Structure 1
Amino acid sequence: MKYVAYLILIANIIFNLWLNFPETKILADPNDNIFQFSLVNRTNWVWQNYGCPLSLSCLPNLIDHLVPNWAEGYPLPFYYSHIPQIAIVSSYNLIIKPLSSLFSSPITLYTYYNWSRYLLFTLFPIPVYLALRIVGLNPLLSSLGAFFASQFSTDGLYGIDPPSFLWRGYGLTSQLYGIFFLPLGLAFVYRALSRRGEAMLFEHAHGLESRPSRDEFGKCAKKSWLTSAAAIVFLTLTTAGHLGIGIIGILSTIPFIFLDLNLKNIILRAKKLLFVICCLFLVLAYWLIPILLNNQYHIVSFWDPIWKFNSYGVYEVVRQFLQGEIFDWKRGPIITILVMIGFFNIILNTSLFPFALLFIFWVFFYFGRTTWGGLIDLIPGMKDFHQHRFIVGVHIASLFLIPSGLDYIFRLVRQTLGKITNIIEIVSNLKNSPDGHRGIHDAVIPIKSGTASGQNIIFYILSIALVSILSYFTVKQTMDYASLNNRWIGEANTAYKYDEDNFQNLLSRLDSLPYSRLYAGRPGNWGKDFRLGSTQLYLLMGSYGYDISQFLPETWSPLSENEQNFDERVAEDYDLLNIKYIVTDKNHDFTVKAKLDNKYGPFELYTVPTTGWFDVVTAPQFVKSDKTNFINIVHLWHQSYPRRWKMHPLISVEKKPLIPQGMQKILEMKDEVSYSEGSGLKGAKDLTPSTKNIFSDYPFVFPESTPSGKIVSEKVERQTYTGTVEVPNNCRNCFAMFKMSYHPDWTVKLDGNVTGKYAVFPFYLAVPITSGTHTVEFTYQPNRLKIILMIGEIIILLTFICFRFYKKNKLS
């Protein structure tokens, strides 16, 4: 049976590789993959510009750098998973690129990226198979379970099914990085917490009369340690691949504590699980701790629909399940039935019971805030979490139920076949009996003494036929989805190649112009139909490393919400966002200041005058808020006259903000539309606090005049932006504004000296400045705490390795 199982697994992988091979030939993505590759491309830029891999500045900048591509710049790796990007870029530059250069057609980074995600997707049955073997299932059931793991089908519910990852779907490559290792992480945690994982140590501690020998004890201790280490490694890889999937993975380990209801055992397993989770947190502490300390600069997007945060509720989830939409969209409920049978089959199985509990656990979580309300927010991280993604937990839990469902069906077939065979033989013996008075008991005797080989052959034939039928009707939907996906990839590639030369000429022209942001439409206007192949230009330009404004709204940068206030007809909006270039198919009533630069086939390039990356503004008032309450007041400011007169209020989302002297008005936002003055903030006037509304009680100060500052020159070098500014005489509350999203890790120098920085509306960086000519320099630098924690982790790891090596040599 082992070799049959291997044959099924290999056939499954070959089938996946063949079916999805066109994914390796994609020229441009129309989904989230365009975002993922942009991060890979930016990481490669860091590799090339910071002396990687030998420079001391390489690693700090790889794990924390500015991504200026969208939303007016944001240090995405500070918050977002970055280890997969580093792995792809480092392996490409150290291995793939040198080897491919030996051939006539070197492999590009984009091709390598496509191959990496293609292999992760098609090879997913391997970690599923290994996970099922680790928890104790036989090879045949494990290989069949791995086969069905690749056949899930939903109508885009963001699970582990093909629509989540393929070209015509969502392209959730970051989620793929996480779920590839998640089954192994859960399997090793289960084994580490079970009697099997603790091996003889657990059994000797619970009643064996003889003491284990020293060699036995050592072997069992080593086995237990390795199992725990494997659990830590794979859960860490899951979390590093996608933080949200990592949270799902950590929560998924909780049911494994309840392998039995013995309180002492539960406490022992809880301690061991806590050790695993603490080790995971220690390994990723350089990333997780800074996130927790700077979460106020990672906003929650109002552009995301509410169902993403709240999930669907009891009625909708139950409806989805009963109608087969969670596992079997557009086909009969084959996997749904297998999951249900598997659930009821193992719910009374003491060793595998936690997986049935895990499934119920995630179904309940999948109900989301729609059902549980604020109760679910008691779990750390849930307030900002997209709870509809809990379907991943439902899918992962079901992977351990499907083999049990198949096992029950096989046993039912064998039992039914045995009963039928018994009945046939009894009847046959009664008919052939020479003594008409022979009893039924005597007729059964030959059955007990006869051979069962014929019955086994029939059982195997029936089992193979049953699996073949289930597989056919399951795979058919997978093939239908993939075949249309493959056809569309070919059509998109053909359309892409048709205008590729014109597009490359456009990029060459942009490269020759001063570095600035560009605008290529947006999802809500002509931008949705302005494409190269099947990819909108506002998506595509970012993947080529250009700073694009009006990309699909993000959920990170404080400016990602309010950049959507941009009006392509208003010249001041181009200046505010430093949009100097428009890439379009024609003039869509742009500002009259937009001038046609050149045409490249269907592409037209316009230029718009701006002050560049810097401007001189006044900031006579201060606004305190949290990360959700400033959206409306910034929007109101964007439409106001003070904004056109370059009055940019200071803003802070810190709990105890630093308020400079001389503020004419200090506000504190109470919610999205309400504010108060004189609310006890340090520096505020002693006024009686009263709640006002930003729409009925005008919140802004009118400036005395528009500052007549001038930007003499500017320069961009790596992650440093330098400008020379002239500030007029008698300019009160003047600031030099840098048109990049504020983040604490920016370092600012004024005339060569490090100085303090502020955030000004819409959420840009700024530094107070006096009359005269000054040089300002803004540099993004990796977070210091992040670097300290990373160095500490490396030291701890090296110390641990040396200690283990020393201990091993001492014992030998």
Structure 2
Amino acid sequence: MNTLKKYLALIILAFAIIFNLILYRAEVTIKGDPNDNIFQYSLVHRTNWVWENYGCPLSLQCLPNLVDHNVTYWAEGYALPFYYSHLPQITIVASYKLLVSPVASFARHSLGDGGSFTLYQYYNWTKYLLLSLIPLPFFLAFIIVGFPIIPSAIAAFFASHLSTDGLYGIDPPSSLWRGWGLTSQLYAVIFMPLALAFTFKAAKKITATANSKITNLFHLHPAFWAVVFLTLTTAGHLGIGIITLLSTTPLIFLDLNKTNIISRIKQLFLIYISLILVLSYWIIPILLYNNYHIVSFWDPIWKFNSYGWFEVIRQYLNGEIFDWQRLPLVTSLVTLGFFVLLLHKEYLIFAYIFALMMLFYFGRTTWGGLIDLIPGMKDFHLHRFIVGVHATSLFLLPLSIEFLFSLTSKITSFFQEKIKKTKEIQAVFPWISPIFNLILISVIAYLTVNQTVKYNALNHRWISEANSAYSYDEKNFLDLLDFLKEKPQARIYAGRPGNWGHDFRLGSSQIYMLLSVYGFDMSQFLPETWSMMSENDQNFDERYAMDYNLLNLRYIIAPKNQDFPQTAQMVKKFGPYQVYEIPTSGWFDVVESPMFVESDKTNFLNLVYLWHRSYPRTWKMHPLISVEKNPSVPPGMKKQIKMIDEVTYRENNRTKNIFADFPFVFPEATVSAKISQEKVNKQTYSAKIDVPKNCRNCVFMFKMSYHPNWNVVVDGKQVEKYAVFPMYVAAKAKPGSHTIEVTHQPHPLKTFLLYSEILAIPLLFIFRKKLTKSPPI
């Protein structure tokens, strides 16, 4: 019977995966994305660029640059891998370069097929397979925990069929083309259930059981696998990693024995510390340089604060968290499972974990500043706790389904006792309960899956329509790309979401989105809002030539009948795509900086906005600025102010308002410098600059978002760098002719920690092996 149950469970699991593979098959045919996958694939594209330009995989420059490089595509450049998850992108590129591309090339030559398997196609296949395989990690997690095998398989089936109105959970709309395209979340969710399951086993201190060989895979303690899967979850998406870590904290109270509680605290502490050590090269620099990772005002407040207890409870009771636009069947199963687990001593803790995730999902709207006491919560999008609610709710389903099975069995037994027994009835009765269970689950599954199928039917159809529309002007677009590749490197303006750019598309993808996918530096499109220039970038006005110069926007791609400055000249036309060029000073300029501003990472934003349209800015007065706690103020400053909040500043011990008072100074003259021999080599930007005489407080301004990773060399010598309005890299400039090089380099601390880990982890394994082999004293 146990063997039969195993085979039946595997059949259910296989059906769930195959069903997904068939349902989502259109995802591998996508030509252009309309959602966050534009951002995700652009990161893959940039990682591929690093791989090709830094001698990967053998060069010593390879690994540091893979984990810490400048992504130039948006918001005037930003060291995204410094803060954002990057291991999924590295994994995709490495596997493509080392395995997939050679195999595809060999197959192509062997079969005589002229087509190629591109990195973008491979990326689409990876997210398609991950999305289709979602039931697998949940099934394995349920088995590891010890839930009954058939209910576990059925519960895993439901993992792919949650339904919300775009709440960013683990429901299909979060990942599909028609939905949000949250592929980075998918990288984490695929490991999340295994992380929770192994941490549960580790907390129980079970090292070997006869009925769960998975928990002792390779004879390693479940705590080891807890660290592995928690690390993979966190590396996939830092936010989901934090949610997963918080979901494991109730495991301390598996029972209320004081000794056991202390033991579990120690064990979980070791698991958490191990995770931090493995990812220390990433986590420690984030904590130390968090002041260069801003909080955007463009993100709606509900993302940071979530919805509050009333709205969350309303969503739950209306079935909007699990069953949007269908009967609340999964909601009912989750509710039933919650109460079943409350009466189940061994698995009671999963009900508490689910309740904890619901409490966190209430967000700052309910808990106020109290939630900020938890590390990492202050800048976190608390609405993303929906992922924790979804993932932990699925751990309630196996015993909920098992309870239904036991209930039907009791009902069957009751009628069996009441009905007169004959040989025929005796033969039929054992089958009544399984058949009734099959009918019950089939009805629930059909009514649940029907919504997923309906949603995906439009997804499938719209992908086909978008691909057809994409193909219509694809040749013109590719010709445009070839033309731009031959031009000197500079930023491109192709509209923005709030103007004509929204409807300027190829297929269903805006041109300003697509160009970044092909590695071009864009402005006015913000798929990320963490760069120090993210907010200031949006001060741009397409009617003013000086704004193009400020952002080094040398090229404009636009449809016909658009009004640009007179200095913008149309140079080429490719079907509906008109190309304009507008003169700029390039990546460098010389400006005067006679004042200094001290601020935190957000209080300077209104000040920059005010400066952007001020006369001092018109005359090239760019204040120096620092977001450090104790900044180094260069000598010769005419004015020094400190921002207290978004509109208030202190000057000479007096409190002033940026709108009521004049916070700036005027330059002595408008600086005019000669810039020549500008070059871009990998992540190094260089030029020859002639600075005019009598240029006091002048600085070289490099038009990239400031970050400590930038290194400035003037006339062959490294010099001190500053941040200058709007938030660019700068260095002091003296009159005369100079050469300048500005290079983005992996942070030394990050490089040191990375190589230290690579050396330390094998040594720890060797040390562990010696300890286990050592005879007892």
Give, in whole Å, the separation in 2 of the partners of 1:452 and 1:343. Answer: 36
Q: TM-score, normalised by structure 2?
A: 0.96
SS at match of 2:534: coil
Contact 1:301 1:554 in 2 (8 A): no
Q: 1:735 aligns with which of 699, 705, 716?
A: 699
Shift in Å, 1:460:
1.0
Q: Which segment is superposed worse, 411-420 or 249-258?
A: 411-420
Q: Which segment is superposed worse, 412-421 or 735-744?
A: 412-421
SS at match of 1:326: coil
Aligned to 2:88: 84
Give, in whole Å, the separation in 1 of the partners of 2:220 and 2:198. Answer: 11
Q: 1:790 aligns with which of 745, 750, 754?
A: 754
Aligned to 2:621: 647
1:206-605 to 2 correspondence within 5 Å?
225-425=220-420, 453-552=427-526, 554-605=528-579
Give, in whole Å, the separation in 2 of the partners of 1:120 and 1:798. Answer: 30
Shift in Å, 1:73:
0.5
Shift in Å, 1:29:
0.4
Give, in whole Å, the separation in 2 of the partners of 1:536 and 1:317. Answer: 34
Aligned to 1:613: 587
Give, in whole Å, the separation in 2 of the partners of 1:547 and 1:756. Answer: 27
Q: 1:144 aligns with which of 128, 143, 154?
A: 154
Aligned to 2:602: 628
SS at match of 1:253: helix
Deviation track 1:698-757 (CA, whole Å, cap 9, x = no partner) reads 100011110121112210000000011111100000001000000011111010000100
Shift in Å, 1:800:
2.0
Please tell me whether residue 134 in structure 1 is matched to residue 144 in structure 2: yes
Aligned to 1:694: 658
Aligned to 1:182: 192
Aligned to 2:672: 708
Alignment CA distance shift 1:726-1:180 (3 Å): same
Aligned to 1:53: 57
Shift in Å, 1:804:
4.2
Segments of 5+ residues of structure 1 without an aligned counterpart are 201-218, 426-445, 679-688
Give, in whole Å, the separation in 2 of the partners of 1:24 and 1:223. Answer: 35
Aligned to 1:39: 43
Contact 1:726 1:771 in 2 (8 A): yes
Contact 2:207 2:221 in 1 (8 A): no
Shift in Å, 1:362:
0.6
SS at match of 1:271: helix
Q: Which segment is superposed worse, 220-229 or 526-535?
A: 220-229
Contact 1:522 1:552 in 2 (8 A): no
Contact 2:86 2:235 in 1 (8 A): yes
Please tell me whether residue 71 in structure 1 is matched to residue 75 in structure 2: yes
Contact 1:312 1:366 in 2 (8 A): yes
SS at match of 1:635: helix
Shift in Å, 1:195:
5.0
Give, in whole Å, the separation in 2 of the partners of 1:586 and 1:628. Answer: 38
Give, in whole Å, the separation in 1 of the partners of 2:557 and 2:19. Answer: 42
Shift in Å, 1:457:
0.4
Letter matched to residue 616 of structure 1: V
Contact 2:323 2:329 in 1 (8 A): yes
Give, in whole Å, the separation in 1 of the partners of 2:76 and 2:658. Answer: 26
Give, in whole Å, the separation in 2 of the partners of 1:113 and 1:764. Answer: 33
Letter matched to residue 522 of structure 2: I
Give, in whole Å, the separation in 1 of the partners of 2:700 and 2:543. Answer: 26
Shift in Å, 1:453:
4.9
Letter matched to residue 380 of structure 1: P
Please tell me whether residue 746 in structure 1 is matched to residue 710 in structure 2: yes
Alignment CA distance shift 1:553-1:702 (3 Å): farther
Q: 1:12 aligns with which of 13, 16, 32?
A: 16
Q: 1:759 aligns with which of 714, 723, 735?
A: 723
Shift in Å, 1:198:
7.1
Contact 1:199 1:224 in 2 (8 A): no
SS at match of 2:671: coil
Shift in Å, 1:477:
0.3
Aligned to 1:769: 733
Contact 2:207 2:216 in 1 (8 A): no
Letter matched to residue 702 of structure 1: F
Contact 2:591 2:698 in 1 (8 A): yes
Letter matched to residue 494 of structure 1: S
SS at match of 1:548: coil
Give, in whole Å, the separation in 1 of the partners of 2:773 and 2:288. Answer: 42
Aligned to 2:765: 801
Letter matched to residue 495 of structure 2: G
For the pair shown, the structure with the greater C-alpha radius of gyration is 1
Give, in whole Å, the separation in 1 of the partners of 2:307 and 2:414. Answer: 46
Give, in whole Å, the separation in 2 of the partners of 1:806 and 1:451. Answer: 65
Q: Which segment is superposed worse, 795-804 or 307-316?
A: 795-804
Alignment CA distance shift 1:553-1:490 (3 Å): closer
Give, in whole Å, the separation in 2 of the partners of 1:554 and 1:84. Answer: 17
Letter matched to residue 563 of structure 1: D
RMSD value over aligned CA atoms?
Answer: 1.8
Shift in Å, 1:589:
1.2
Segments of 5+ residues of structure 2 without an aligned counterpart are none
Shift in Å, 1:319:
0.4
Letter matched to residue 347 of structure 1: L
Aligned to 2:689: 725
Paired residue total = 763
Q: Which segment is superposed worse, 171-180 or 399-408?
A: 399-408
SS at match of 2:649: strand
Give, in whole Å, the separation in 2 of the partners of 1:282 and 1:28. Answer: 39
Contact 1:303 1:553 in 2 (8 A): no
Alignment CA distance shift 1:221-1:489 (3 Å): closer
Give, in whole Å, the separation in 1 of the partners of 2:604 and 2:568. Answer: 31
Identity %: 58
Shift in Å, 1:805:
4.8
Q: TM-score, normalised by structure 1?
A: 0.92
Contact 1:553 1:560 in 2 (8 A): no
Letter matched to residue 371 of structure 2: I
Shift in Å, 1:591:
1.0
Give, in whole Å, the separation in 2 of the partners of 1:807 and 1:656. Answer: 48
Give, in whole Å, the separation in 2 of the partners of 1:539 and 1:223. Answer: 46
Q: Which segment is superposed worse, 635-644 or 794-803?
A: 794-803
Aligned to 1:204: none
Give, in whole Å, the separation in 2 of the partners of 1:615 and 1:712. Answer: 11
Give, in whole Å, the separation in 1 of the partners of 2:774 and 2:273. Answer: 29
Aligned to 1:685: none
Give, in whole Å, the separation in 1 of the partners of 2:188 and 2:408. Answer: 38
Letter matched to residue 618 of structure 1: E
Deviation track 1:523-551 (CA, whole Å, cap 9, x = no partner) reads 11011100000000111110100000011
SS at match of 1:723: strand
Deviation track 1:382-410 (CA, whole Å, cap 9, x = no partner) reads 00000000001100111100111111111
Letter matched to residue 16 of structure 1: N
Shift in Å, 1:552:
2.6
Q: Extract structure 1 runs of 4+ deviating beyond 4 A.
A: 197-200, 219-225, 449-453, 804-812
Shift in Å, 1:255:
1.1
